[in-house]
């Protein structure tokens, strides 16, 4: 059973990159290296196709310097904005927390759980 759900609605216009936390940034970098060595998809690469397969069409397409697609995902009581696009990769942001909260480790374990689960399900379909 998938613990991650697509909300398909903008919950908060304010979100902070999860990579603002040192431990989470280290996990993302190590995961990217591991993914490359194992020929798997990294959460930093473009995972738009996998997100569409798992959660359906994106909520929004943002056209700026790059075209990014947005999915709003829920894990437990946490809400994440997941942006992914060609030539840009993926950015994962958490809603309703500020930079200092994330930097200082608030909800760090749950965020890492979410990243691990998302990584697992993204690579199950490949």
66-117 confidence digits (pLDDT tens): 678 999 999 999 999 999 998 889 999 999 999 999 999 999 999 999 999 9
Could you give the CA distance from residue 87 to residue 102 in angstroms, rounded to a whole number?
27
Residue 91's DSSP bridge partners are 83
Return the pLDDT at 121.
93
Q: With beta carbons less than 8 A apart as the criterion, state whether 51 and 126 touch.
A: no
Give residue-wise pLDDT tens across range 28-76: 999 999 999 999 999 999 999 999 999 988 887 777 776 789 999 999 9
CB of 44 closer than 8 Å to CB of 89: yes
pLDDT at residue 1 above 60? Answer: no
Give 65's DSSP letter: S
Domain positions in the chain are: 4-118
């Amino acid at each position: 059973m998938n613990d991650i759900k697509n909300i398909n609605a903008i919950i908060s216009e304010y979100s902070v990159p999860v990579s603002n936390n040192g431990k989470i940034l280290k996990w993302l970098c190590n995961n990217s290296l591991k993914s490359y060595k194992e020929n798997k998809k990294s959460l930093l690469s473009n995972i738009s196709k996998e997100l569409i397969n798992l959660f359906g069409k994106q909520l929004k397409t943002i056209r700026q310097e790059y075209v990014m697609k947005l999915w709003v995902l829920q894990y437990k009581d946490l809400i994440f904005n997941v942006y992914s696009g060609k030539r840009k990769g993926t950015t994962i942001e958490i809603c309703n927390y500020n930079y200092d909260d994330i930097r200082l480790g608030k909800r760090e374990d749950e965020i890492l759980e979410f990243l691990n689960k998302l990584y697992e399900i993204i690579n199950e379909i490949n």
